[in-house]
Each structure stands twice: as structure tokens, then as C-alpha cells.
Amino acid sequence: MDTSKVATSNATTAATASKPSKIGALGNWADERLGLAAMGKKNLRKVFPDHWSFMLGEIALWSFVVLLLTGVFLTLWFVPSMGEVQYNGTYEQLRGVHMSEAFASSLNISFDVRGGLLMRQMHHWAAMLFVASMMIHLLRVFFTGAHRKPRELNWVIGCLLLILGTLEGFTGYSLPDDLLSGTGIRAADGFIKASPVVGTYMSFLLFGGEFPGESIIPRLYVVHILLIPGLLLALVAAHMLLLVYHKHTQWPGPGRTEKNVVGYPMLPVYAAKAGGFFFIVFGVTALLGGLLSINPVWKYGPYDPSKVTAGSQPDWYMGWPDGALRIMPGIESEIWGHTISWNVMLPILILPVVMFIILLLLPFIEAWVTGDKREHHLLQRPRNAPTRTATMVALMTMYGLFWAAGGNDIIAIRLHLSINQITYFMRAAVVIGPVLAFIITRRWCISLQRKDNETLLHGYETGIIMRSPEGGYTERHLPLPASTAYTLTARHRDPEVNGHHEAVDANGVAAPGTGRLEGLRTRLRTLMWSDNVQKPTREELDEGHHHAEHEHELQAGLDHSADGHQFDGHHLVEDETLRGH
């Protein structure tokens, strides 16, 4: 095979040079100045593998584009000022009320700018989708092992995107200066004041004096429309460049190896699919914006520090630290005349930071535990890395429980429960739940591995029940098609671990860095691999096949073609009937 070519295909013959056209002339003009052809040679037919789960990150990318478009529209009318004005606009129920210019302009966008409400709602829905799709993309990457070498840095960039996206969301929903967003900022002021030593200073500097002051909205606005979007754009660009450089991962399968990537070319198929998907994501946000009301600021009214509404919640992505805040017991200590608010610091200043650092370090922790220094471009099925899968499910469980705790009042009224009992339950559940989830997921994965081996050794179940001359019933199993069998076995065996002789290498020399840390690593390696089920050995496989052939012989002599393939599309029986003789 000629590997010098970037991509090979039998699909089309090479294009022959045609007469120079107008487009050709334009291309020539541009190439003489920009050298586009060299770039295009590499990238125009760049291959992307096709799988639905590879498009989750695209949802995030496209909703970010929707955010930029709708956001620019909103800036044309939004006034980021806390100057007090008397409202005299179209919305009758607030006419004459004093409010900030920010809130008045939000009402103006909602009621007096045609399409303004739609753009506001689309912007808000797209923001919710942006963070949500980043998270499902992150889960897909982790569950399939796509965070392994050489993609660890792209994982880090992705994590930064997630946290920046969350902050961008918070600054965004604070801008309209309605009752809910003001309550959110007020709580944020409480969080800042709880920081030891510098809390009060930070609060006064941030708000330009005492809360609420008149500076916070203009300052959040600059952060929201300039600072964070700039960082997001730069990081998105870096994320995509690394994706192009590493080339996309792919599932193992016939023809797929660690050294190649099989799929459709960028031009035309992938460009069309990605471009079409952009319009679909854009369309979905338009549909949501048109049909579902989000953040009806006119009903909340302008922010007033003496008003509050039941069901004061942040947007969903800030919900889990809020849940942690709700279930935290009220602990505060006083040391040498200084107050330390553990009840605020632990859940809101420490927990999210710790969780984020854990998330950031996951690929590095895994690489340290496994000692794996190889590049990985073929994905793993979640079941084939039970401990990793279980770790993420445990983290998800913890996240989900904190998240639910953040909606405890809504859960209480909708399900007729007591907020007090929900809170007590959650205090225990956030500790016990992840542990249970870890154990259950790990065992579940291992069972699925067993089932794979079962299928490999004994074939798949056809659903055909055979009756032997003796009257016994058996289900007929048939061997897997070659490509499926290959796909199932195209994976590594895990190293054998049994705890102790890990610390000593093949020559009997103690590995460097022995000590407590190395002990922990050994224990983690044991946890990582010890209970996993390996794919069958060649001997097991031979024996299994031998057994299957024997059974086939027993079942031979059937004069119709009910061989079990009628139902799986491998054998066409258009002209035959099952009981036709």
C-alpha cells in the first residue's frame, strides 16, 4: 500500500486538470498570496469516522455559534447600567416602577424589539444546551478512553471550556437584573464574603462598594461579552486544532487499526453533515425559543434586595454546588475573633474546586496507575475498562445527587415530600450513592465482559429451539460473523496483577519510587484490573469452536434451511418457508 498519499480511495478517479475558469483564477490569486493549496491538500479530504457519539461535541460547538449570533443581536439593545430609571414602556404591570436601566432594556428587548424575545430565549436555551452538550461530550470521551495519550491536553482544554462556559452562563443570567438574577448575585456576594481573610475586601472591590452598588452589572457585562467569549474562542480553536492534528479516534472494527482512520472525507460528506447539523442545532434552539418560555423576567420584576420568590434557583449547571450548599449542616467557627463559615466555604468555595481538579487530572491519574505510555486511537467499550467506567458513574451519581438537592423544594412540592427529609436523605446519599454506583457499575461491566466471552466461545443465540430425538430442548447457537468476532476481540489483555510482585521488575530489582505512593499505585492497579474478564485465549476459542461444530453435526440433516440465519439477515429465505416441507 502506498502510504505516501494522505488518503486513498477507490471511489473516484483523479480529477483531470480542466481549463482555467473564473473560480480557478480566484484560487490562483489566493494561493499565490496565502499558499492555500498546501493546506487544502492535507485537509480537504481529511477523514472523519462516522458515529453518532462523535457528534456530541459538535452540539456544543454549534450552540456556541448560536450564542455568538444571538448574543450580538442582544448587545444592540441591552444597556449594561444600574442607573435608576422609571419604566414607561409597553409592559403595563411594571409601568411607573423604578428599576435599573439593565432591567428596563431587557423589557424593551422582550416587548418592543420585534423578535427580541425570541433572540433572548434562544440565547438562554442555547446557553443551557452549550453546557449540557459539553458535559455529555466529556462523558463520551471518558467512557470510551479517548482521553488517553496523546489526547490528555485536549481533555484539559475541554475541562477549561466547561468551567468557562459555566462562568459565562452565570454572568449571562445575572445581567438582566431581574429578581432571580439579583438573588443569585446576592448569594454570590455571600460566598465571596465567606472567603477567609480577603472576603470583605473582594466583595467591596467587586461591587465597587457595598452590595449591590452600581458597578456589578457593567463589570459582569464586560466579562460576559468580551473576556470569557475571547477565552472560549481561543480554547475552542485550540481544541479543534488538536483534534485535526491527532485525527479523530475510532471504534475498533474490520479494517480499523491504531495506525489508520476509516471514515468519510471532510469534503463533501463530513462538511455537509456538520453543516447540516449546525442548522439542526440552530433550528432546535429556535424551536425551544419559540415554544418554551424561559426566564420570564417581566414576571420576576426588577431586582429589589427585600424581595424574593419561592423556587429561587440558579440555572441548571450551577445547581449542583447550590445543592451542596442546601444540604450542608450549619457549621461556623470563631477563631481569635475571626469567623470561618464552613457552611458556605466547604460546599461552594472548596468542593467545586476540588471536583474540577479531580476532573482535570483524571487522564493523568489513569496514566499513572496503568503506567501506559502508548498512543491510543482505537476506543474502548466502557465495559472493557470497568473501574474507569465505574469511577465516572460514581462521579456522575455524586453530581446528580447534589443536583437533585439543588431542586429539593421543587421535588418536595411536586412529589409531596418534606424538604427536611429530602435534605437529611441527601446528606447520606451523596456519600453512599457514589460508592454503591461504583460497585454496581464495576460488577455490571464485568458481567457484560463475561457475556461477550460467552458469545465468542459459544456463538450467539438464534432464538431457535431444537428438540433432540430424546425430547430435550436446546437453543441453537451460531458462531459470530468474522467481522463481529474480530471487533469483539480487537482489544488488549489487561496486565496480571496480584498485588505484591508489581513492586519488583523482571530482573528482581525493586522499582524506583517504592514507598507509600507506590503502594497506593499498586493497590489502584489491583483495583483497576484484578476482577476484569480477559478475552478468551486461543485454546479456549479452539475448544469452543470444536464444541460448536460437534453440536452442529448433531443438528445436521435438516432438510430445510432453518439454520437460524433467517432472522438476522445473513441468509435470505425469500423463496423458502420455515415449515414448507
Partner 1 sequence: MRLLNRSAGRLSRHRRGPLAGVAVLLLALLSVGGLYTLFSPASADETAASADQVAQGRELFLVSCAFCHGQNGEGVRTTSGDQLGPSLVGVGSAAVDFQVGTGRMPMVQPGAQVPRKPETFSDEEIAALGAYVASLGPGPAVPDEGDYSLEGLSDEEREAAIVRGGQIFLTNCTACHNFEGSGGAMPRGGYAPKIRGVEPRYIYEALLTGPQNMPNFSNGNLSPDEKRDVIAYLGSLEEMPNYGGFGLGGLGPVTEGLAAWILGIGLCVGAAVWIAAHTTRTNKKKVDA
Partner 2 sequence: MSTPPVIDGHGHDEPVDENLPERDDLYANPGVHEHLWRPTDVDPKAEKRAERQVATLFTLSALCTVLFVVCYVVVGPDETLAGFGAQNLLFGLTLAGALLFLGIGIIQWARKLMADQEIVEYRHPARSSDEDRATTIEALNTGIGESGIGRRPLVRNSLLGAAGLLGVPAVVMLRDLGPTNAQVTENPPFPGSGITNTIWDKGMRVVRDVVGTPIRPEDMQIGDLINGEPEGIYVSPWDGEPLEGVALQVNKSKGAVVLVKMEPEEIIPGTGRENWSVDGILCYSKICTHVGCPISLYERTTHHLLCPCHQSTFDLADSARVVFGPAARPLPQLALAVDADGYLVAQSDFDEPVGPSFWERG
C-alpha to C-alpha distance for 502 and 390, rounded to whole angstroms: 24
> 67 to 106, contacts with partner 2 by CB under 8 A?
82-84, 90
Q: Which does 328 bind (CB under 5 to 8 A by kind): partner 1, partner 2, none?
A: partner 2
309 or 339, CB closer to partner 1? 309
Q: Which does 125 bind (CB under 5 to 8 A by kind): partner 1, partner 2, none?
A: partner 1
274: number of CA atoms within 13 Å, CB side? 19
Q: Is 10 in the site for partner 1 (CB under 8 A)?
A: no
Q: Is 50 in the site for partner 1 (CB under 8 A)?
A: yes
Q: Which does 329 bind (CB under 5 to 8 A by kind): partner 1, partner 2, none?
A: partner 2
Please state the closest distance from residue 422 (CB atom) to partner 2, in A.
9
27 or 352, CB closer to partner 1? 352
Q: Is 314 in the site for partner 1 (CB under 8 A)?
A: yes
Please state the closest distance from residue 338 (CB atom) to partner 1, in A.
32
Contacts for 234 with CB less than 8 Å, ≥ 6 apart: none
C-alpha to C-alpha distance for 276 and 100, rounded to whole angstroms: 41
C-alpha to C-alpha distance for 482 and 487, rounded to whole angstroms: 9
- Considering CB under 8 A, how many residues would be counted as binding partner 2? 139
The pattern of x and - marking residues 232 through 271 that bind partner 2 according to CB under 8 A reads -------------xxx------xx-xxxxxxxxx--xx--
Type of residue numbered 437: A
Grid cell of 277 as nine digits: 447539523
Asked if 299 and 311 count as a contact pair (C-beta separation under 8 A), the reply is: no
Q: Which does 196 bind (CB under 5 to 8 A by kind): partner 1, partner 2, none?
A: partner 2
User: DSSP letter string over 368-436?
Assistant: HHH---S---B---GGGSHHHHHHHHHHHHHHHHHHHHHTHHHHHHHHT--HHHHHHHHHHHHHHHHHH
> 335 to 354, contacts with partner 2 by CB under 8 A?
337-341, 343-344, 347
The pattern of x and - marking residues 405 through 424 that bind partner 2 according to CB under 8 A reads ---xx---------xx--x-
* Binding residue (CB under 8 A) for partner 1 from 44, 396, 412, 466: 412
C-alpha to C-alpha distance for 184 and 154, rounded to whole angstroms: 32
Of 328-336, 429-437, 468-476, 565-573, the segment contacting partner 2 by CB under 8 A is 328-336
Q: Is 159 in the site for partner 2 (CB under 8 A)?
A: no
> 453 to 492, contacts with partner 2 by CB under 8 A?
482-483, 485-486, 489-492
> 504 to 543, contacts with partner 1 by CB under 8 A?
none
| Cβ neighbour number for residue 298 with a 10 Å cutoff | 18
> 70 to 129, contacts with partner 1 by CB under 8 A?
90-97, 110-111, 117, 121, 125, 128-129
Q: Which does 315 bind (CB under 5 to 8 A by kind): partner 2, partner 1, none?
A: partner 1
* Binding residue (CB under 8 A) for partner 1 from 81, 215, 312, 487: 312
Residue that is written with C-alpha cell 452600581 in the block: 214
Q: Is 307 in the site for partner 2 (CB under 8 A)?
A: yes
Please state the closest distance from residue 395 (CB atom) to partner 1, in A.
18
Of the candidates 424, 421, 405, the residue with the CA atom closest to the CA atom of residue 323: 405
Of the candidates 353, 347, 359, the residue with the CA atom closest to the CA atom of residue 406: 347
Is the bond preceding residue 479 a cis peptide, omega within 30 degrees?
A: no
* Binding residue (CB under 8 A) for partner 1 from 51, 247, 458, 523: 51
> 206 to 225, contacts with partner 2 by CB under 8 A?
206-215
Q: Is 138 in the site for partner 1 (CB under 8 A)?
A: no
> 173 to 202, contacts with partner 1 by CB under 8 A?
179-180
Grid cell of 414 as nine digits: 411536586
Residue that is written with C-alpha cell 419559540 in the block: 290
Of the candidates 85, 72, 75, 318, the residue with the CA atom closest to the CA atom of residue 214: 85
Q: Is 288 in the site for partner 1 (CB under 8 A)?
A: yes
* First-to-final CA distance of the chain: 51
The sign of the CA dihedral 88, 94, 99, 105 is: negative
C-alpha to C-alpha distance for 463 and 453, rounded to whole angstroms: 19
Asked if 344 and 191 count as a contact pair (C-beta separation under 8 A), the reply is: yes
* Binding residue (CB under 8 A) for partner 1 from 384, 408, 522, 532: 408
SS3 category, 308: coil
> 372 to 401, contacts with partner 2 by CB under 8 A?
372-375, 377
C-alpha to C-alpha distance for 486 and 480, rounded to whole angstroms: 9
Q: Is 430 in the site for partner 1 (CB under 8 A)?
A: no
Q: Which does 494 bind (CB under 5 to 8 A by kind): partner 2, partner 1, none?
A: partner 2
Q: Which does 522 bind (CB under 5 to 8 A by kind): partner 1, partner 2, none?
A: none
C-alpha to C-alpha distance for 314 and 316, rounded to whole angstroms: 6
- Considering CB under 8 A, how many residues would be counted as binding partner 1? 75
